[in-house]
Amino acid sequence: MTKVLIADDEKHVREAIKMLADWDGHGVTEILEASDGQSAVDMIMEESPQIVMTDMRMPRMDGTKLLEWIKSNRPAVKTIVISGYDDFELVRHAIRNGGLDYILKPVDPDALNDALGKAVEAIRLETLQDSLSARKNMELNRMKPHYADKLLTDLISSHGSKDELARQLSDEFGLPEKIDSCSSAVISTAQLDQELLDKFQHLRQLLYFTLTNICNEVLLSGQKGIAFHHLGNPEEIVLLIWDETMPLQATLEEIRSGIDLTLHRQIHIGAGPRQPFPSGAAGSYQQAHQALWQRNAGELSGWLHTNALKPQKPLRLASHEESFRMAALSGNMERISAAVDSWMDQVHKLGKVTPAELEQWNSEWDWMLKQWMDRDSDPASPGPDKDALLELPRSLPMDSLGRISYPLWKAQYEGRLTAASRILTQQHSRENHIIHDIARYLENHYAEDISLQDMAARFFLSREYISRRFKQEFGVNISDFLAGVRIDKAKLLLLNPQLRITQVAEMVGYQDEKYFSKVFKKQEGRTPNEYRKEQSSR
């Protein structure tokens, strides 16, 4: 929407300009009028026109003063002078103060429209440039945090010159130029409990942002340090703390309290010793990382970890492989439970268990189960699929205090063996096939928010395997199957005239009535309301 203000003390001149200009052709939607310079100023401040056409000789405030005011206060406004004085000084004054054109009275229509066209085009180009600049700035602002994470990640790794990285961080992100030494600290989302991770299941970046933001609220406020997302190890938030006026533990305690207040979790933090900056940042980080991952997760011995436990004789999951495999092949829950209990007994004898060991055993599970799939797959006869790899929950079996939950751990292992049993011993009858177990689960839990990822975690199968085999077995993907179940249930509920459409939608798992109606119409060829009327008329 383009507004034009005509400032002239002669009404007939204003009327002539209004009549001669091709306003519609230039996209002008509103024409304002002022009888002197001061009235024009008031109008500009109130209505914000983009173009001002002004006379040079007017009462109260003349055109020269008006142009000066516009240049100082509204420099984006385009000005066109329309004057009865062919005066070089007036022309020069107009040009100096941003005037686009100087038109003499009586007004020539071609000259007027030519000047108006130039002004409108100048506005269009500036608007386009502003839009491009805004988009560029938005993109830069979006990328800037990632760029900072990249520089800081390189600082604690083997990449790049440390001094050059520190200089870039100082120039571009305002880090103090003189930092003599710093300590590192590490928070790992991999050591959080499954309940919390489920809340951020599809919003993992939000979890990283939340943790980093809480840390930086404490660190950046007093130039104590900086926290960032470790791009080389995405499950970690790393803190570099150079402030020496407050003990490291006190600073980390403040951060920990902030996280507890926001996420309701008492997290564990690994901390490294103070080292020269920037050369020693990588070494301090490595020690903080080791301290966090080599802590005793079997008991609560404090939340701040500064020293890694001494390595103990490793216990390998592979030593129990045959016991696990035979239990899975038996298909007997008692044997599966007994095999897991035997493993747990061995773990308890260790006296301590570290998060690093839990990660190692998860990796051994991945390898072990893949071997089972390959070993028991007979290319000449139907059997378990080679690519039906069991998908482990990515969380460690931790409780909300960061301690091992043995009941959860046992349930995880029993779940993996039960899933392996279903695949290794599956028959191709409809009753026993694991895909039909998934279908029955969907039929019984249709009102819940269910995704392919949820099914993979529940049945310990890969998403790819479930998706492919489900389509083979039922001819539709999981989402379409679930939609079919929901619509069938909805058709029954719609027979009850006491239930509103919104209630029916919610009862079958749709929180959005419009989306429910769209899915219903796609499957049934009519809206839920039309279906209800049709059924009631029978």
What whole-number distance in Å separates Cα of residue 330 and Cα of residue 340? Answer: 14
Using only the alpha carbons of the chain, give its radius of gyration: 36
What whole-number distance in Å separates Cα of residue 13 and Cα of residue 18? Answer: 9
The 10s digit of each residue's pLDDT in 309-324 is 887 788 898 889 889 9
* Burial class of residue 123 (count of CB atoms within 10 Å of its CB; 0-12, 13-18, 19+): middle
More confident residue, 387 or 21: 21
The 10s digit of each residue's pLDDT in 83-142 is 887 776 767 777 777 777 888 888 889 989 999 999 999 888 888 888 776 676 555 555
Top CATH class, 156-305: alpha beta
pLDDT number for residue 394: 61
If pLDDT is split at 50, 70 and 90, which confidence band does 428 have? Answer: very low
pLDDT number for residue 379: 45
Q: What is the DSSP string of 501-528?
A: HHHHHHHTT-S-HHHHHHHHHHHHSS-H
pTM of the model: 0.60
Confirm if 516 and 528 have CB atoms less than 8 A apart: yes
Structure tokens at 198: 């489920």
| CATH code, 430-538 | 1.10.10.60
* Residue spans per domain, the chain: 2-128, 156-305, 311-426, 430-538
H/E stretch holding 88? helix 88-96
Pick the CATH number of 2-128 from 3.40.50.2000, 3.40.50.2300, 3.40.630.30, 2.70.98.10: 3.40.50.2300
Q: What is the DSSP string of 252-286?
A: HHHHHHHHHHHH-----EEE---EETTTTHHHHHH
DSSP single-letter state for residue 242:
-
Among 534, 451, 442, 449, smallest CA distance to 491 is for 534
Highest mean pLDDT among 88-102, 182-196, 371-385, 439-453: 182-196
Q: Among 51-55, 78-82, 386-390, 529-533, whose mean pLDDT is lowest? A: 386-390
If pLDDT is split at 50, 70 and 90, which confidence band does 269 have? Answer: very high
Q: Residue written as tokens 């005011």? A: 69
pLDDT above 70 covers a percentage of the chain that reads 91
Mean pLDDT for the chain?
A: 86
pLDDT number for residue 143: 54
H-assigned helices in 430-477: 434-444, 452-459, 463-474
H/E stretch holding 190? none
More confident residue, 367 or 268: 268
**Residue 383 confidence (pLDDT) above 50:** no
What whole-number distance in Å separates Cα of residue 487 and Cα of residue 473? Answer: 21
**Residue 287 confidence (pLDDT) above 60:** yes
More confident residue, 304 or 459: 304
pLDDT number for residue 381: 41
Section 501-509 average pLDDT: 92
Q: Among 81-90, 116-125, 145-154, 432-441, whose mean pLDDT is lowest? A: 81-90
pLDDT number for residue 466: 85
CB atoms within 10 A of CB 441: 16
**Residue 49 confidence (pLDDT) above 90:** yes
